[in-house]
Amino acid sequence: MFRNPKPCVPLFHHLSRFRITPNSLCPIPPFLVPSNNLSTDSTDTNPTTSVPIDAGSSNRKPVSLWPGMFHSPAIHALWEARSSICEIPPLTNATAYAPSAPKTPSQSRTSVFYNFSSDHILREQYRNPWNHIRMGKLVEDFDALAGTIAFKHCSNEDGTTRPLLLVTAAVDKMVLNKPIHIDADFIIVGAVTWVGRSSMEIQLELTQSAQGNTNISNSPALVANFTFVARDSITGKASPINQISPESEQERLLWEEAEERNKLRKKRKEQKHGESGDTDRLNELLAEGRIFCDMPALANRDSILMKDTCQQNSFICQPQKRNIHGRIFGGFLMRRAFELAFSTAYAFVGAAPHFLEVDHVDFFKPVDVGNFLRLKSCVLYTERENTAEPLVNVEVVAHVTKPEHRLSEVSNRFYFTFGVDPEAVKNGLRVRCVVPAKEEEARKVLERMDAENLSLVKKDGNFEVVKENKCIEKTNL
């Protein structure tokens, strides 16, 4: 089942695309090298006049020029394109980065083409055990494409200033509007849509080709907004970046939408500590948890404590997973978090769930090569307003652990929503309510409920999470 997002302006009515030729050592196309005169015609509305990056090309370049070689083919192709910028070393006396003239969205617009219909090797790398697409790998590719777009927007063609550190700060809601078929071609296209002083928002859309299949429309299947921040590569301080100059009415509307999202984020940060109306809601959430703790024999068997839904895994961050700055690639972290969230929902429900949304991702601290990373997940709450189509909301928290310093810090928070197969529900599967037992757990639930416009409703003696508005209509997988 799929959530219908708020109506939004179509992202791109034209695409700026390029191809890296497979199995060749041809030079990088000249417009990959940053320039204010990119070969992009902003008035071109014919998508067949330009060519996207081929997700299966993956030319190999010296490992000294670009990061780890153990990512998806699409990431190889994107980093290969990005390495053209790295091949132009800055001058030895390079000064701090200085913004140039404002750039248009078309100057950063980039796309990646997935030739699944005829490229069997590429398709198999994205297939999951249920013959659907591996969403974790796709989320990883989204982050890589967003990073490439950020590089293009902040590029400096004269080599007189040192390059910036560009890092993922957050990912807003990613909504799967319809199924992504494993045997049909699709394209991911993105561009910078909004710029602050040292941050930028990049919007990406995935569109799958109908190819004669009337069940596949040309509307975007997946839309995502990534926020990147720029830091000086030596001082680590925030650095001003090139501003953006929208050209079309669509681009101006996208800029306004992004500006509103930025204002909303700031407002939520200010209100995060100090809301006075939470006491009653906290008590409502904790009421059943206290029964579990104090009188477990009398607890509702249709509920389960949050702590009993938890899963976790730990690993050392290897150099093969580094990004172009030598730190761990954010897309890799997103993929590992997604896979743990999927496993958590699977173990909780008792049937393979299907992905609906990335609700939000926060990047608080960078993760370095050699770090001991612990991912901890739990089911925050379930939505059972529509009993035939229950939803499972999962949180994953990444901790950088330093045993030698007796230190553990949160580096990332991820939130995902999964749906349950309606056929499994028809056959008797029932999704239980999740109950927080601690105030910290209850506050996390309330924070996500507020972000998702949810409320508590007393039903059959329990408080359940429901939409404040009427239930959102969804389509079948």
Indicate the pTM of the whole model.
0.76
Q: Examine the fold and report which residue of 222, 240, 267 is the final residue of a domain before the chain moves on.
A: 267
Q: Within this chain, do residues 456 and 412 fall inside the same structural domain, yes or no?
A: yes
* Residue 352 belongs to some domain of the structure: yes
* Pairing relationship of beta strands 53-54 and 110-114 according to DSSP bridges: parallel
Interior angle at CA 120, CA 139 and CA 175, nearest 5: 25
Cβ atoms 299, 292 nearer than 8 A: yes
Q: Within this chain, do residues 244 and 342 fall inside the same structural domain, yes or no?
A: no
Non-local CB neighbours of 271 within 8 Å, separated by 6+ positions: none
Query: Distance (Å, rounded) from C-alpha 446 to C-alpha 465?
Result: 10
Q: Within this chain, do residues 328 and 447 fall inside the same structural domain, yes or no?
A: yes
* Residue 94 belongs to some domain of the structure: yes
* Residue 131 belongs to some domain of the structure: yes
Q: Within this chain, do residues 80 and 177 fall inside the same structural domain, yes or no?
A: yes
Q: Within this chain, do residues 195 and 124 fall inside the same structural domain, yes or no?
A: yes
- The pLDDT tens digits for 392-423 are 999 999 999 999 999 999 999 999 999 998 88
Phi, psi of 83 (to 5 degrees): -65, -20
Q: Within this chain, do residues 263 and 282 fall inside the same structural domain, yes or no?
A: no
- The pLDDT tens digits for 323-370 are 877 889 999 999 999 999 999 999 999 999 999 999 889 999 999 999
Instruction: Quote the pLDDT of residue 74.
Output: 81
Q: Within this chain, do residues 251 and 297 fall inside the same structural domain, yes or no?
A: no
Q: Helix, strand, coil % (nearest 5) of the chain?
A: 30, 25, 45
Reference 161, options 215, 212, 85, 108; nearest CA is: 85
* Residue 23 belongs to some domain of the structure: no
Give the mean pLDDT per block of 10 residues along the chain (477 residues): 49 37 32 33 39 66 49 77 59 69 91 92 91 92 92 76 83 90 93 94 90 64 93 86 92 91 77 61 82 86 93 93 85 95 96 92 92 96 88 96 92 95 89 91 89 74 65 32
Instruction: Quote the pLDDT of residue 256.
Output: 92
Non-local CB neighbours of 49 within 8 Å, separated by 6+ positions: none
* Residue 222 belongs to some domain of the structure: yes
Range of the domain at 214: 30-267
Q: Within this chain, do residues 194 and 83 fall inside the same structural domain, yes or no?
A: yes
* Residue 477 belongs to some domain of the structure: no
Q: Within this chain, do residues 429 and 407 fall inside the same structural domain, yes or no?
A: yes
* Residue 473 belongs to some domain of the structure: no
Query: Distance (Å, rounded) from C-alpha 366 to C-alpha 372?
Result: 13
Q: Within this chain, do residues 364 and 222 fall inside the same structural domain, yes or no?
A: no
* Residue 4 belongs to some domain of the structure: no
Q: Within this chain, do residues 303 and 206 fall inside the same structural domain, yes or no?
A: no
Instruction: Quote the pLDDT of residue 50.
Output: 52
Q: Examine the fold and report which residue of 267, 285, 313 is the final residue of a domain before the chain moves on.
A: 267
Structural domain tally of the chain? 2
Q: Within this chain, do residues 345 and 217 fall inside the same structural domain, yes or no?
A: no
Q: Examine the fold and report which residue of 207, 237, 267 is the final residue of a domain before the chain moves on.
A: 267
Non-local CB neighbours of 129 within 8 Å, separated by 6+ positions: none
Q: Any idea what the CATH number is for the domain that residue 334 is in?
A: 3.10.129.10
